Amino acid sequence: MFVADLAAPELEPADAHHLAQVLRLDDGDPVVAADGTGAFCPCRIEIARSTPAGAPRTRRPALVRLQRDGAIAETAAPDPPLGVGFALHKGERPEWAVQKLTELGIDRIITFTTERTVVRLDAAAARRRGDRLRRVAREAAAQCRRLTLPFVDDPVGYAEVLTRFGTGLAVAEPEAPPITAAMTCVLVGPEGGFTDGELARAPALVGLTDTVLRTETAAVTAGALLVAIRSGRLRPAVG
């Protein structure tokens, strides 16, 4: 579970409900609390129930909290940090992509619009979409026992994405050269692909597979390749 302060860990209501009602943990069960930056500590859950122990859990616990059960420790963030960006599309597929990219260990996730993107958001809608995707990432990180939270940007335009990511940025395009160790961030376009003008502005192009992938599939494929290279499990082309 993620908390704001490991020295005095406090659960958010949704997390308290998840621990006690979904995972059905009981008083004294161990839990690891993390702050999302790599620091963590062992805790034990304390539950004061509104129904007697052993009775059906038809009511929510009166109190669910964490009690520290050890020292705070830290883990170093993987290096280099990795990013994946993908063009917004309708439905729940962006949430699925964010969930899987979080599970893989991607450090930064950004959604963006292009000339061929159907979804258009004003500033308020972009903030709401960003908040929703950050919640998805947080839940996914807790589920896969990841100690660091990915940075999830609010949706922006393609031009702004190019300015946010420095060296190591590549844009996914069918039949482009394979991924290299120098690439640390990959952008995936909409179902209709990037326009010629957008491709011309890309610092580099990268091919992911021999087939044309859906946006969310391409995003997860890019994430898996980047993480595999960083971990040493994949030896990419030199470049």
Specify the pLDDT at position 191: 87
> 212-221: buried (b, 16+ CB within 10 Å) or exposed (e) per residue?
ebebbbbbbb
Whether residue 100 sits in one domain with residue 63: no
Specify the pLDDT at position 237: 66
Burial class (CB in 10 A: 0-12, 13-18, 19+), 69: middle
List per-block mean pLDDT (blocks of 10 residues) for the chain, which spans 239 residues. Answer: 90 85 86 92 85 57 83 91 93 94 97 90 92 95 92 94 88 95 96 94 95 94 97 79
Whether residue 40 sits in one domain with residue 62: yes
In a domain, 4, yes or no: no
In a domain, 1, yes or no: no
Specify the pLDDT at position 61: 55
Whether residue 88 sits in one domain with residue 70: no
Specify the pLDDT at position 119: 84
In a domain, 207, yes or no: yes
Specify the pLDDT at position 166: 73
Among 74, 97, 120, the domain boundary falls at 74
Specify the pLDDT at position 14: 83
The pTM for the full model equals 0.87
